[in-house]
Amino acid sequence: MRLEHLQELNKARAERRAVVLITDVADGSQRLVRGENIAGDALSEQLDAALRAGKSATVEHEGKSYFLTVQVPPVRIIVIGAVHISQAMAPMAKLAGFDMTIIDPRTAFATPDRFPDVKLLAEWPDVALPPLKPDRYTAMAFFTHDPKIDDPGLIQALHAECFYIGALGSRKTHAKRVERMKAAGFNDEQLSRIRAPIGLDIGSVTPSEIAVSVLGEIILALRKKPLRAPNAAPAGSKAA
pTM of the model: 0.82
**CA angle at 64 for the pair 47 and 24, rounded to the nearest 5°:** 70
Each residue's pLDDT tens digit in the chain (240 positions)?
788 888 888 988 888 888 999 999 999 999 999 888 888 899 999 998 898 888 899 999 999 999 999 998 999 999 999 999 999 999 999 999 999 999 999 999 999 999 998 999 999 999 999 999 999 899 999 999 899 999 999 999 999 999 999 999 889 999 999 999 999 999 999 999 999 989 999 999 999 999 999 999 999 999 876 433 344 444 444 433
Q: DSSP assignment of the chain, as one string?
A: --HHHHHHHHHHHHTT--EEEEEETTT--EEEEEGGGGGGSTTHHHHHHHHHHT--EEEEETTEEEEEEEE-PPPEEEEE--SHHHHHHHHHHHHTT-EEEEE-S-TTTS-TTTSTTSEEE-S-HHHHHHHH---TTEEEEE----HHHHHHHHHHHHHHT-SEEEE-S-HHHHHHHHHHHHHTT--HHHHTTEESS-S-SS---SHHHHHHHHHHHHHHHHHS--SS-TTS--TTTT--
Q: Parallel, antiparallel, or unpaired: how do β-strands 64-71 and 57-61 relate? A: antiparallel
Angle between helices 44-53 and 207-223 (to 10 degrees): 150
What domains appear along the chain, each with residue ranges and CATH number? 3-71 (no CATH), 76-223 (3.40.50.720)
